[in-house]
A and B are shown apart, each in its own frame.
Chain A
């Protein structure tokens, strides 16, 4: 496992008034990964990003980025971190190219028109370089923010809700863009409440709620551990009880005996294989069926279940 480039230990933020936005968060981010931080509104995602990027003053805990303590060597660390905020916050009167060049200078880099051109072309903004930002569409404004964040060639990039409020086509374009940034070796931490987004892109997923990091795991491992297969088998004739020989399957009778429901597996395909076994067993037992509806649980199901469990606890 590669060394973490970001290490958070016991990170806590209590706002004046007593709201605990972060509650003793421990998190390691590995070089080159895409980490998705999932959570409902107000979970603490933006506060976590703000604490690392210097927008929020933590109440407790330690933060290290690239081996530097962020409370003492913040210059060295921040020079390598980029941030794309959730809000479309930029000087709307500035032309695109000037705004992006300003960001590069602000982070201490010498002017490099070639690099700026490369970034703007990659984001399909080159043709709009002399336009004032206020004249651009919402999607383009968001891309300008990404260009500004990339202008100083960060090694770690925070994307706070990168696709909030953008249409499906642009969202998919944004996913491709994020993937290409990963290809260039940029480590990416994105917050989202679109589970689909995390499922599509992330290597690892963290689930945060009420300031607490509930779970951090590889996406695949999380799916494997918490994933489920659900199958509904419509029967030709109603049954009163589960026949002998089928007791080894995790099934229940539904709809007055007209349907069998299977809930099992582990998100790796084991469930589908068991459903196939179940259908063979039904045939062997002389039980006819008229249809099968099989569904794998998504990350969203896992996320909702996880939040539900924690709230119930």
Chain B
């Protein structure tokens, strides 16, 4: 017996079903929140804002809002996905089953990423109700969204393994991820920041993610797309290495 395909599919299916079981929290809540952003920043305030890089303000914020939702939802989906079995004790079944690191990751992280992609599609459709936009590099957009979703699913998985209570589970997304996303050029271009803040902003890794996605939409961004792609791939590699260590050592999974 080598790779356990059926085991992987079982984990994946169950995790995706869990999202539908909690559809309001998993799908409707982010859609509602994003819609409110579009109403407030896109319609109400956006009408008074100048175009940024030749893009209408309402359309300009779409990649940032998409990234805001992607990072938050992907991280929380993946972290809850592995934390809850640890919390309730049902992880015994996973640990005693013939599934290894690859099956577990593809199952949990793949499901979290898939849920995020579904959510991203819904948000893009929702955005269409409020603003007109086009995607300059649709293939790159899909690839980049998938990369970000996969990276932050891995990151969420690490959080879910690390956390030993609900507070820890929420602290990283709430205290670090959301503020960094807000400061990462979701609602503005970092060119708009005065010195030295525009330079300081480049220390925020989320700037590169938002910028990268914005390039796939409008063909222009604060940072070169290659750098954004490199940083995303680097983050993916670091998270993968940490997870490999977790499974090898059994840290927080096996007694």
Residue positions of A touching B, CB distance < 8 A: 15, 47, 50, 53-57, 74-76, 78-79, 81, 83, 85, 87, 89-93, 98, 102-103, 105-110, 148
Contact = CB atoms under 8 A, between A and B. Distances in A.
A54 B104 CA distance: 15
A50 to B, nearest CB: 6
Interface of B: 1-2, 4-7, 9-11, 13-14, 17, 21, 88-90, 92-100, 250, 254-255
Contacts of B4: 75, 108
A146 B233 CA distance: 44
Contact of A106 (B10, B17, B250, B254): B10
B89 A87 contact: yes
Nearest to B84: A91
Contacts of A55: 92, 95-96, 254-255
Contacts of B2: 75
Contacts, number: 78
B41 to A, nearest CB: 36
A56 B254 CA distance: 5
A78 B6 contact: no
B95 A108 contact: no
A106 B93 contact: yes
B98 A83 contact: no
Contact of B89 (A75, A89, A98, A106): A89
Contacts of A75: 1-2, 4, 98, 100
A188 B14 CA distance: 29
Given A55-B255, A102-B14, A81 B96 contact: yes
Contacts of A76: 1, 98
A15 B255 contact: yes
A90 B90 contact: yes
Given A47-B255, A53-B95, A108-B98, 10 more contacts: A55-B96, A75-B4, A83-B96, A90-B88, A93-B21, A106-B6, A106-B93, A107-B97, A107-B98, A108-B1
Top 6 A-B pairs, shortest CB-CB distance = A105-B10, A89-B89, A53-B96, A75-B98, A79-B98, A78-B98
A135 B13 CA distance: 23
22 contacts: A55-B95, A57-B254, A57-B255, A79-B1, A83-B93, A89-B88, A89-B92, A105-B7, A105-B10, A106-B6, A106-B7, A106-B10, A106-B11, A106-B93, A106-B94, A107-B97, A108-B1, A108-B4, A108-B5, A108-B6, A108-B7, A108-B98
Nearest to A148: B93
A234 B21 CA distance: 71
Nearest to A80: B98
A66 B120 CA distance: 48
A91 B90 contact: yes
Contacts of B93: 83, 103, 106, 148
Nearest to B4: A108
B90 A109 contact: no
Contacts of A81: 96
B6 A110 contact: yes
Contacts of A107: 7, 97-98
B86 to A, nearest CB: 11
A55 to B, nearest CB: 5
Contacts of A85: 89, 92
Contacts of A90: 88, 90
A89 B230 CA distance: 42
A76 B250 CA distance: 20
A83 B92 contact: yes
A107 B4 CA distance: 8
Contacts of B14: 102
Contacts of B10: 102, 105-106
Contact of B255 (A50, A78, A79, A110): A50
A109 B10 CA distance: 10
B3 to A, nearest CB: 9
A50 B9 CA distance: 25
A102 B137 CA distance: 40
A55 B95 CA distance: 6
Nearest to A109: B6
